[in-house]
Structure 1
Amino acid sequence: MGNKMTRRSFLKKSTIGTLSAIGAAYGGYYYAHDIEPHWLTVKADTIESNRLPSAFHNVKIVQLSDTHLGFQVTLDDMDNIVREVKRQNPDLIVFTGDLFDNPSDVSDSRYEKLIPILSQLKAPLGQYWIYGNHDHGGYGTNPIRDVMNASGFTLLQNDTVTLEREGETITLSGVDDVLLGDPKLDGLISTNQENGYHILLCHEPDFADNVVDYPFDLQLSGHSHGGQVQIPFYGYIITPLLGQKYVEGKTTIGQRPLQLITSRGLGTTRLPFRFLCRPEINTITLKTAQTE
């Protein structure tokens, strides 16, 4: 005959179960709010193309995106990010938008304190950046431009620059933010350049469906935060407009083809959590494709 559960043992087991559930919930909250948003990782990808000049073989690009300073990421966090970038020894550094979460709340002194931190970032092929939607929002267009310029970053706002190495060249272009700016793809690459190798910086990854009609080989984007919270067997929880199709990682589209890297970014927005979606610095190593 089985043992009959007493009222005392029932209450004891119920209490333990309740406390365990509360502990698990609190532990999950603490992890997603206080641990993972600051648990930086470096995501490495290799991009291969037969259009890439041999002088650019093994060139390393470091991409930073979506710091959203002021929401969860602090200036101390930025110090850690900069140290990690320097350890990567990049040939080219790019920032793909959303420096501050809400520029309207940022004091002049806070902008000024960021400049010596970002100024430590140097690369032989240069440092470039583009606007994100949060940069244009909250009257941030001009002050963020001034901070990035003072930090040694060159703005690409519907502009193209030629990068030269050992006598060979590729181009780097950047478009204005798609949601709150005025992006223009026409004219970034001239007809006589179409057979060369061309990189585009665009904050919103889903704009790649427009970019694929132009002679670009690589697009670097952010904006999506990788969904920020990922639930097993369910998927992404937070996906903004134009960051819902190409949410993270490497994707190849079109016939050229266009290779797209979508960064999870470094900060958070809307909700102060990351879960199964660590913030990342992206390193992209360019490789010249082997031909027969």
Structure 2
Amino acid sequence: MQRKTFLQTLAAATGAGVLTGLYTWQVEPFWLEFVRVQMPIRQLPEALVGKTLMQISDMHVGNRFDRKYLIESMQKAQQLAPDFVVYTGDFVNYESPEQFAQLEEVMAHAVHGTLGTAGVLGNHDYGLDWKEEAVADRVTDILSARGIRMLRNEQIDVHGLSIIGLDDWWATNFKPELVLQSLPQNKPQLVLCHNPDVADLPIWNGYQGWILSGHTHGGQCKAPFLRPPLLPVRNKKYVAGQVDLGDGRTLYINRALGHLIQVRFNVRPEITLFELVKG
């Protein structure tokens, strides 16, 4: 290769690398996608057919992320007027008590369902090494004050829909037996659980229905048609989107609204809007 040609090729490659880097840092992390999915639910009452359920996950409010983007995303989501809203954990990226004030700032713009709003905690909501129960309690108090019914191994009935919420598997309060051993029979139901690996645990007691999770962020970066190289789960099939577990359960993994590190490539941030239909 002639020297001139080599320099031109090198300059083009460098320019492409710079543009890709800027895209992954300044564009895609803020390019929110509203993903629409049908959610068939057994025994769904006629009154709930066609209603919408919005899932928001992994906001990671903290010092590493632009809270203005989170607030603007909430405002966009509010315009869709969902009937139900569920939050599936990692509200904060906890480093210090400063995150409590930051969470209050963001959740002043929280999206609420016209029929009901619920949530569960994620591992980051438990502070350092996922073991600071006082942090989880404070996060829960902030969210509860903003009208989000936090479920910590609990079940509630919301206009005929049973919503079961499991606390985070990696943290200190994962006690699924408190709720899954007494599942309501012949009722429409769904489970909120931050970490999708929980789907593989022997805890489900015959549950058949949807499990909504987050945690993976979809890997945040991946080459087209390939799996992401880094995933914080044991089961590497659990990346993002809908997964048929083959036993009457359907897992859905939200790609996250926020992130820990401001970089995304081929994995846009997501808010999911489910349409409830008869199963």
TM-score for the superposition, normalised by structure 1: 0.86
Q: Does 1:177 align with 2:168?
A: yes
Match of 1:59 among 30, 51, 55: 51
Q: Which residue of 1 aligns with 2:226?
A: 234
Return the alpha-carbon distance in structure 2 between the equivalents of residues 183 and 94 of structure 1.
19
What amino acid maps onto 1:57 in structure 2?
V
Q: Which residue of 1 aligns with 2:142?
A: 147
Instruction: Give a deviation string over 1:112-143, Cα, whole Å, max 9, x none.
Output: 4234222xx22222211111001112343133
**How many Å apart are 1:243 and its aligned residue?**
6.2
Q: Which residue of 2 aligns with 1:137?
A: 127
Q: Does 1:12 align with 2:4?
A: yes
1:59-138 superposed matches below 5 A: 59-70=51-62, 72-104=64-96, 106-118=98-110, 121-138=111-128
Contact 1:62 1:281 survives alignment (8 Å): yes
Contact 2:120 2:194 survives alignment (8 Å): yes
Contact 1:115 1:150 survives alignment (8 Å): no
- SS for the counterpart of 1:193 is coil
What amino acid maps onto 1:75 in structure 2?
R
Alignment length, in residue pairs? 273
Task: Give ranges in structure 2 of 5+ residues lacking alignment.
Answer: none
TM-score for the superposition, normalised by structure 2: 0.90
Q: Does 1:268 align with 2:263?
A: no
Provide closer, same or farther for how the CA distance between residues 71 and 230 of structure 1 changes in structure 2, counting only shifts above 3 A.
farther
Provide closer, same or farther for how the CA distance between residues 275 and 161 of structure 1 changes in structure 2, counting only shifts above 3 A.
same
**How many Å apart are 1:107 and its aligned residue?**
4.9
Provide closer, same or farther for how the CA distance between residues 103 and 63 of structure 1 changes in structure 2, counting only shifts above 3 A.
farther
Provide closer, same or farther for how the CA distance between residues 243 and 174 of structure 1 changes in structure 2, counting only shifts above 3 A.
farther
Match of 1:157 among 142, 145, 152: 152
Q: Which residue of 1 aligns with 2:242?
A: 250
Contact 1:177 1:203 survives alignment (8 Å): yes
Return the alpha-carbon distance in structure 2 between the equivalents of residues 111 and 54 of structure 1.
37
Q: Which residue of 2 aligns with 1:25?
A: 17
**How many Å apart are 1:153 and its aligned residue?**
0.9
Q: Which residue of 1 aligns with 2:27?
A: 35
Segment of structure 1 superposing worse, 210-219 or 132-141: 210-219
Select the structure of larger CA radius of gyration. Answer: 1
Instruction: Give a deviation string over 1:243-280, Cα, whole Å, max 9, x none.
Output: 6332111112243x1111110011122x4311000000
What amino acid maps onto 1:258 in structure 2?
R
Provide closer, same or farther for how the CA distance between residues 226 and 71 of structure 1 changes in structure 2, counting only shifts above 3 A.
farther
Segment of structure 1 superposing worse, 18-27 or 229-238: 229-238
What amino acid maps onto 1:175 in structure 2?
L
Return the alpha-carbon distance in structure 2 between the equivalents of residues 107 and 46 of structure 1.
35
Return the alpha-carbon distance in structure 2 between the equivalents of residues 105 and 24 of structure 1.
41
**How many Å apart are 1:157 and its aligned residue?**
0.2
Match of 1:193 among 169, 180, 184: 184
Return the alpha-carbon distance in structure 2 between the equivalents of residues 218 and 233 of structure 1.
26
RMSD (Å) for aligned C-alpha atoms? 2.1
Aligned identity (percent) is 28
What amino acid maps onto 1:68 in structure 2?
H
**How many Å apart are 1:101 and its aligned residue?**
1.7
Return the alpha-carbon distance in structure 2 between the equivalents of residues 71 and 192 of structure 1.
40
- SS for the counterpart of 1:251 is strand
Instruction: Give a deviation string over 1:191-232, Cα, whole Å, max 9, x none.
Output: 582222111100011211235544241111000111111113
- SS for the counterpart of 1:286 is strand
Return the alpha-carbon distance in structure 2 between the equivalents of residues 249 and 68 of structure 1.
20
Return the alpha-carbon distance in structure 2 between the equivalents of residues 67 and 17 of structure 1.
40
